[in-house]
Structure 1
Amino acid sequence: MTLEGQLRMLDFTDNEIKVYLVLLKIGTAQAGRIAKECVLERTSTYNALKRLQEKGMVSSVIEANTQVFAAASPEKILDVFKEKEERAKLLIPQLEQLKTAKTEKETILKFRGYAGVKTVLNDILKTCKSGDEYLILGPERQLSERMPTFARIFVAQKDKKRIRARIILRQIAGNNVMSKYTEARYVPQEVFSPTVTSIYGDKIALIVWSETPEAIIIDNADTAKTYRTYFEFIWKHAKKSL
């Protein structure tokens, strides 16, 4: 690669490259001579000199009432990029904040299998603090029947943290709740959904109890708020006992 090409990769324009290389060769010179050596118009030469001065690659002095220019040491290029590096270091945290905000706003995590169900329920335990409440819509004893050991562990840990829960169940025999920190209400038996929805913090967890369970966590405050409103509407009209 040519010298000009390498300087171009360092963000120097073609005119800046011409002016800087000419000054390195001839030493100090007036703008007119620089323009002539570079075969550039006077205006283009002055613009290039101005940008090079801003980068610290060219200096100027007044000699005999005339402004003359001189190229800075090529090592100055390192200083230019060190300054850019420092600016970049200051900028990165601000950019990361934007990235984090966007990620938190749009995160959707998908899981498959019983391990995925465990991940979702453990996330509920992790997200909820003592005294927090999460909402559950549509459970049909799937967890206790298909993952009995983990179900007992989950309920024990939930109660130990004093995490409160409100559950909306169908009015069928056996759909009762045996937990100190859980309150249930009931909807008609014909209201059925294969998906269990949990709402906690700014998250919604969906578990589909198919032959191989599938689960999704949506981390979005607005969506969680919408689901919460929907839950509260059903809760308001649901029965307090079987």
Structure 2
Amino acid sequence: MDYAELEKIGLNKNEAKVYIELARLGQATAGELIKKTEFHRNIVYDNLEKLIDKGLVSFITEGRRKIFQINPPDMLTDFLDKEQEVLDDKKKIAEKIKKEVKKQFDIIKEKQESIIMRGVKGVKLVMKEIIDKNYEYISFGAPEESNEVMGKHFWIGVARKMKEQNQSVKLLFNESLRYWGETLHDELDYGSKEIKYLDFPTEPITQTLVYGSKVAVVVWTEKPIVTLIDNQAVADSYREFFKVLWSQAKD
């Protein structure tokens, strides 16, 4: 039993230390625990109260002294069961709030055709939607920075999921990323139906993804900026533009 294990089940560092020292002593006064833990008396008393509230510690009174002791080990799982009940209640409340927020979000979404997201979470959100809904997926302009920011394992994972569900994929890379296309070919058997190359006059730092009625333009800075446009006409126009690029690209 160590501090890290107790922290994983919901105790804070101070609670974990007090609990372990009390378990080692069997029974102890607050004063003895203060010496063992080297905590200030207020910290020991405060964390003993928290452990009592969690059902993990109890005390008996001898004269004017309180003697603390750990409760039977079954209380550890009972404590987690109670935590789960609280978590379940919170989840029910969150589901209720989620429905209310979704109604409001849908109203806002109808009024707004584009949103901007910052950070890798925005990229992950876009890729998750593409995979979950099995959209036809086209992409062009990916720079080396996309690998540096997200990590190659992330993109391999994305490509593998798309391959497993026979997703329609077309990727147009700059020549500088030919090595990456070859990696996808070697690991996942992606070929010329899925990947082609263009000599862009300058190395792009943006990547354009088209799926469903949406266009996502990712600026690959250290914290990516994702501009997501939800408009069928815009998405269709990008598809037509992509067809032109694809026809000029090399295997």
TM-score normalised by structure 2 residue count: 0.49
Q: Which runs of 5+ in 2 are unaligned?
A: 1-104
Judge conservation of contact 1:203–1:219 (CA < 8 Å) in 2.
yes
Distance in structure 1 (CA, Å) of the matches to 2:131 and 2:211: 10
Q: What per-residue deviation string (whole Å, max 9, x for no partner) do you get for residues 38-77 of structure 1?
A: xxxxxxxxxxxxxxxxxxxxxxxxxxxxxxxxxxxxxxxx
Equivalent residue runs for 1:1-242 within 5 Å = 103-104=109-110, 106-128=112-134, 132-148=135-151, 149-172=153-176, 173-177=178-182, 178=184, 179-180=188-189, 183-240=194-251
Distance in structure 2 (CA, Å) of the matches to 1:135 and 1:160: 17
Matching residue's letter, 1:135 = I
Distance in structure 2 (CA, Å) of the matches to 1:116 and 1:101: 21
Distance in structure 2 (CA, Å) of the matches to 1:143 and 1:212: 11
Distance in structure 2 (CA, Å) of the matches to 1:190 and 1:107: 31
Distance in structure 1 (CA, Å) of the matches to 2:227 and 2:234: 13
Deviation of residue 142 (structure 1)?
3.3
Deviation of residue 119 (structure 1)?
1.1
TM-score normalised by structure 1 residue count: 0.51
Judge conservation of contact 1:138–1:193 (CA < 8 Å) in 2.
yes
Q: What per-residue deviation string (whole Å, max 9, x for no partner) do you get for residues 78-119 of structure 1?
A: xxxxxxxxxxxxxxxxxxxxx969945843121101111111
Query: Compared with structure 1, are the counterparts of its residues 158 and 111 closer, same or farther at alpha carbon in structure 2 (3 Å cutoff)?
Result: same
Distance in structure 1 (CA, Å) of the matches to 2:117 and 2:235: 19
Deviation of residue 122 (structure 1)?
1.1
Distance in structure 1 (CA, Å) of the matches to 2:200 and 2:180: 11
Identify the range of structure 1 (218-227 vs 99-108) with the bigger mean alpha-carbon deviation.
99-108
Q: Which runs of 5+ in 1 are unaligned?
A: 1-98
Query: Compared with structure 1, are the counterparts of its residues 208 and 139 closer, same or farther at alpha carbon in structure 2 (3 Å cutoff)?
Result: same
Aligned-residue identity in percent? 27
Deviation of residue 187 (structure 1)?
1.1
Distance in structure 1 (CA, Å) of the matches to 2:231 and 2:145: 26
Judge conservation of contact 2:145–2:205 (CA < 8 Å) in 1.
no
Superposed CA RMSD: 2.7
Matching residue's letter, 2:156 = R
Distance in structure 2 (CA, Å) of the matches to 1:105 and 1:180: 42
Judge conservation of contact 1:163–1:181 (CA < 8 Å) in 2.
no
Deviation of residue 189 (structure 1)?
4.7
Judge conservation of contact 1:137–1:198 (CA < 8 Å) in 2.
yes
Matching residue's letter, 1:202 = S
- The alignment covers a number of residue pairs equal to 140
Distance in structure 2 (CA, Å) of the matches to 1:104 and 1:239: 40
Distance in structure 1 (CA, Å) of the matches to 2:240 and 2:107: 24
Judge conservation of contact 1:110–1:216 (CA < 8 Å) in 2.
yes
Judge conservation of contact 1:137–1:167 (CA < 8 Å) in 2.
yes
Distance in structure 1 (CA, Å) of the matches to 2:166 and 2:116: 28
Judge conservation of contact 1:109–1:217 (CA < 8 Å) in 2.
yes
Matching residue's letter, 2:224 = P
Judging by fraction of residues, say which structure has more helix: 2
